[in-house]
Amino acid sequence: MNQINVRKLAVNVLTAITYKKEYMNEVLARESANIKREEHGYLFRVVNGVVENLMFIDSLLQFQSKIKISKLRENDKNILRLGIYEIIYMDSIPSYASVNEMARLMKKSNHQLVKYTNGIMRNFAENYEQIMLDFDQTHMDDLTRLSVNYSHPKWMVNRWVDFFGIEETEKLLRSNNLEPELSIRTNVLKTSRDDLMHELSNLGFKVRASFYVPEGIIIESMNHLELFKTKWFSKGYFTVQDESSMLVGHILSPAKGEKILDMCAAPGGKVTHLAQLMEDEGEIIARDISYEKLFKIKENTDRLGFKSIKFELKDASLLDEESIGSYDRVLLDAPCSGLGIIRRKPDIKWQRQLADHESLNELQIKMINNASKYVKIGGVLVYSTCTIDELENDEVIKTFLNDHPDFIVDEINQVSVDLINDNYLKIYPHKHHMDGFFACRLKKV
């Protein structure tokens, strides 16, 4: 497939995300199967980049345009967005090439906009520095400036400014737009972290040990796709998992021989970590709402070689009478807005609405109420999310404790005190250089 067709595919992928509201990772996984492996880098970069900088790019386009960008068809907008992204962020592509290729794409999409596209692209390519200076001098209030410059919806910026203040919010927004490092979890039942780091280093990967988790390794450089071609991956010596996600397993702190329930186990990083921490001795029930999700967990479980995990199709929002009082420890990694992982999934910014927090809060409370019933007296319940929103975190725990005097907040002493705030695990990307995360350890008394 030649470059013009890869660009056309990128536009189609962007339209699926921005118009059809499909999830970026799913669309990329599906569409990248149709192109050569060496073309994956371009496709993944431009799609991720445009989605990450969507509002900023649209604002720059509108700043130059005499017609309303919002009135254009979505496919046509995405051709313009792709061109602006290439000119600003991709030094390896000559500006004149971007101008010409976007005009060619527009000729196939909407012949009436070819002259307009050529004019917009050429003007931006030739007068980039002056346009940026003029745009920077555009009068915007502080919240609008943050929203536009860092491409986050204004409602989200407003909410975070209320929580964190303007300076802290700007640091968070900036961090959300940085490329995250890849972290992997050593399967210490098969190898040691030091040995795995040595083997990966010999293959040319630049690696360092995680500061916060004893099994964690940060992959600093080299094509990540090559990592999954190694025999160390196929033999189950490691799995991909962010450091903050690994911390949750340590907070639950399962022991050998116990009976554990993971109520929302997909995609499987935490439940396989629990098996590893238990040395694969005991019984772990991994539940989720679809067979497809359970199948993906089982694939990873089989590759890693764990035998203690069993799979059940269950909806965590529905009470399972048969499970009442059955488990030593329960993990509820609840469905959430995902606002802690924007740097990995920038489309979350455009998928979420302010009203989502309230509906998610209701679902989370329903699920944690169910989870509490499955825990034995003296047992442990860990509630976690990958969001940084207090309504889905602190407020859920507050409501839960008001309704459940048989539970107390248990001290978290399994992880670094640097990550603990009011006895909750609270991780922020701009502070800890990990995915944003929340966890609370509760004990049934």
Answer yes or no: 264 catalytic: no
Query: What one-character DSSP code corresponds to residue 285?
Result: E
Measured CA to CA, the distance from residue 59 to residue 149 in angstroms comes to 9
Helices (H), 138-192: 142-149, 154-164, 166-176
Give residue 47's identity as a one-letter amino acid code.
Answer: V
- 257 Ramachandran zone, left/alpha/beta (phi>0; psi -120 to 50): left
- Give me the residues paired with residue 350 across strands: none
Measured CA to CA, the distance from residue 340 to residue 387 in angstroms comes to 4
- Name which of 133, 161, 1, 110 is nearest 63 in CA terms: 133
Torsional sign, CA 403, 405, 407, 411: positive
Q: Of 264, 336, 386, 440, which residue is the catalytic one?
A: 386
How many residues does the structure list for the chain? Answer: 445
- Give me the residues paired with residue 327 across strands: 375
Query: What one-character DSSP code corresponds to residue 69?
Result: G
Contacts of 5 (CB under 8 A, 6+ apart): none
Helices (H), 266-388: 269-277, 291-304, 348-351, 356-374
Query: Under a CB-based contact definition with an 8 Å cutoff, are residues 184 and 240 in contact?
Result: yes
Measured CA to CA, the distance from residue 362 to residue 369 in angstroms comes to 11
Query: Under a CB-based contact definition with an 8 Å cutoff, are residues 320 and 375 in contact?
Result: no
Please list the active-site residues: 386
